[in-house]
Amino acid sequence: MYKILNKGLIILLFAISSSNYVFGNLPENISELVDSSAPAVVNITAKKEVSQRSSYGYGGIPDEMLERFGIPREFRDAPQQKREAVSYGSGFILKDNYIMTNFHVVEDATEVVVSLSDRREYIAEIIGVDQLSDLAVLEVKGKNLPTVDVGNSDELKVGDWVIAIGSPFSFDFSVTAGIVSAKGRSIQNNNIGNYVPFLQTDVAINPGNSGGPLFNLEGKVVGINSQIYSRSGGYQGLAFAIPINVAIDVADQIINSGEVSRGYLGVRMSEVDSDLADALGMKKPYGALINDVEEGESADMAGLVPGDVIIEFDNKEIKFSSDLPHVVGQIKPDSRASAKVIRDGKQISLDFVLGELPINNETFIPAKTQSSSDPIGLKVVDIDRDNPSMANMPDGVIVSRVNPNSAASGKVNRGDIITMIQYKGKKFDVNGVDSFNEALNNFSSGNKIAIHLIRNGSRLITSITLN
């Protein structure tokens, strides 16, 4: 009996010790942190003008009745009516009279009202926005406004405790807490996310929290709550915040110059899977695989070519293709940077002078009739240069058929243009059906080859294991 009690006591002491270890870094009273930080947090009300058309047409008569009388649609459509809509969000006073929030909080707003915790209200002016980072800078004409202390998001570690203050569902100045779940997340939402290495947290975030600050336990802002992952519209344990280091850079550019500029390589890229890694002579799948290089841009001038894999850029490791825009986008145009690249199974170094990310990038290129043999499950044909629609196409062959359940099935599509085949350190240019077949003669069953192709104007690289 004594032994059992003694054993239970040891377990209890261990549990208490572990609990103290886990929660030892938490402040004794989170309310102290909130009291010192909350005054600089603001509630944002954005008024917008929206248009709507009545579901009933002309004179309120249902469409089906008007159709019976042959009244044309242009006469029975009710005119669009404008009405005022209101949306809510959060923000914080960064410095001077400048306030940071999300772009989507104030998008298309006709009036923005900022409310402080001491009940002061101001009409805010939108100084500038950056849609790619989902950030906006506002300015108010107030006196003696409290400001936040800014931290360093690069110093955050997975598992660190963080606290959010905001106005979910317009419940002003609500406080929630959680931990950093991951760093460097890449998410896509209306082109937002390509250039933001998001912080993932499990802090309870809901509509209305957008634009509000994320604090560390020192009471310093380390992020801006921006998005949630939800199938219901409410919190489901996945929240994403913009790192404050990224936000400060954007804010400074907006305040100083009115716009945001980012570095630009001019490449299209994809992930390296295990099969592609084998085909490209790599020991493991990692890095950003270059599918295409834009003529005349930074990557082209530096000598980057399709099939290269960038594993490090500006002294920062590139584990996934999504890491590259995060790194490049934070470098100023015309800056110099170096990269480590895997080419033909060997590591090389390249030096770049970065271009500037264009606002709209739509620059990139898109097949007589001799059929090839069918060694990998597809048939190809030569490009007909006598056809005006094909005259400017790049050298290669057009895929005319992909056999179901073949090695190429699911990897290559009908209409793709194959331009090159790569295996380990060897590259075989494809200029026609003959060169395509000659290239395949160099491989044997079980070899993993990389197929360079053009699909809908975009260059891609895919792997195929030969049967």
Q: Give the pLDDT of residue 161.
A: 93
Residues 308, 236 share a domain? no
Q: What is the total count of domains within the chain?
A: 4
Greatest mean pLDDT among 11-20, 68-77, 249-258 lies in 249-258
Query: Does 22 reside within a domain?
Result: no
Sort strands 149-150 and 220-228 into parallel, antiparallel or unpaired. parallel
Catalytic residue among 87, 210, 298, 372: 210
Q: What single-letter amino acid sits at 100?
A: M
Position 224 confidence tier, pLDDT thresholds 50, 70, 90: very high
Q: Where are the beta strands (DSSP E) in 149-217?
A: 149-150, 161-166, 174-185, 198-201, 213-215
Least confident of 203-207, 222-226, 285-289: 203-207
Last residue within a domain, chosen from 89, 109, 139: 139
> How long is the chain?
467
Stretch 187-206: mean pLDDT: 75
At 462, which helix (H) or strand (E)? strand 458-465
The pLDDT tens digits of the residues spanning 114-132 come to 999 888 999 999 999 998 8
The pLDDT tens digits of the residues spanning 6-42 come to 544 444 433 434 334 344 455 566 888 888 888 999 9
The pLDDT tens digits of the residues spanning 429-453 come to 998 888 888 888 888 878 888 999 9
Residues 221, 124 share a domain? no
Q: Give the pLDDT of residue 365.
A: 30
Looking up tokens 């990269």, which residue turns up?
339
Q: Would you say residue 222 has pLDDT above 90? A: yes
CA nearest to 42, candidates 125, 147, 144, 130:
147
Residue 210 catalytic? yes
Q: Give the pLDDT of residue 458.
A: 87
Other CB atoms within 10 Å distance of the CB of residue 266 = 23
Residues 253, 155 share a domain? yes
Query: Does 200 reside within a domain?
Result: yes
Catalytic residue among 134, 249, 308, 323: 134
Which has more confidence, 465 or 180? 180
At 35, which helix (H) or strand (E)? helix 30-37
In whole angstroms, what is the distance from residue 17 CA to residue 15 CA?
Answer: 5
Stretch 197-224: mean pLDDT: 92
Which has more confidence, 129 or 189? 129
Stretch 58-64: mean pLDDT: 55
Query: Does 71 reside within a domain?
Result: yes
Query: Does 252 reside within a domain?
Result: yes
Residue 452 catalytic? no
Residues 286, 349 share a domain? yes
Query: Does 420 reside within a domain?
Result: yes
Position 100 confidence tier, pLDDT thresholds 50, 70, 90: very high
In whole angstroms, what is the distance from residue 445 CA to residue 465 CA?
Answer: 8
Query: Does 56 reside within a domain?
Result: yes
What does the radius of gyration of the chain's CA atoms come to, in whole angstroms? 29
Residues 430, 403 share a domain? yes
Residues 130, 53 share a domain? yes
- % of the chain surpassing 90 pLDDT: 41
Read off the CATH number of the domain in which 457 is found. 2.30.42.10
Residues 392, 322 share a domain? no
Looking up tokens 């001799």, which residue turns up?
370
Which has more confidence, 5 or 112? 112
CB-count exposure of residue 301 (10 Å: 0-12, 13-18, 19+): middle
Query: Does 372 reside within a domain?
Result: no
Residues 247, 154 share a domain? yes
Read off the CATH number of the domain in which 90 is found. 2.40.10.10
DSSP, collapsed to helix, strand or coil, labels residue 252 as helix
Last residue within a domain, chosen from 119, 139, 159: 139
Q: Is the pTM of this model over 0.85?
A: no
Last residue within a domain, chosen from 356, 386, 411: 356
Q: Is residue 296 within 8 Å of residue 441, measured between CB atoms? A: no
- Counting runs of H as helices and runs of E as strands, what totals does the chain give? 10, 27
Query: Does 286 reside within a domain?
Result: yes
In whole angstroms, what is the distance from residue 38 CA to residue 147 CA?
Answer: 10
Stretch 90-97: mean pLDDT: 93
Residue 155's domain spans which residues? 149-257
Stretch 89-110: mean pLDDT: 93
Q: What is the largest CA-CA distance in the chain?
A: 96
Q: Is residue 396 within 8 Å of residue 306, measured between CB atoms? A: no
Residues 414, 334 share a domain? no
Residues 193, 280 share a domain? no
Residues 252, 268 share a domain? no
Q: Is 134 left (phi over 0), alpha (psi -120 to 50) or beta?
A: left
pLDDT mean across residues, the chain: 81
Residues 405, 339 share a domain? no
Catalytic residue among 104, 130, 321, 416: 104
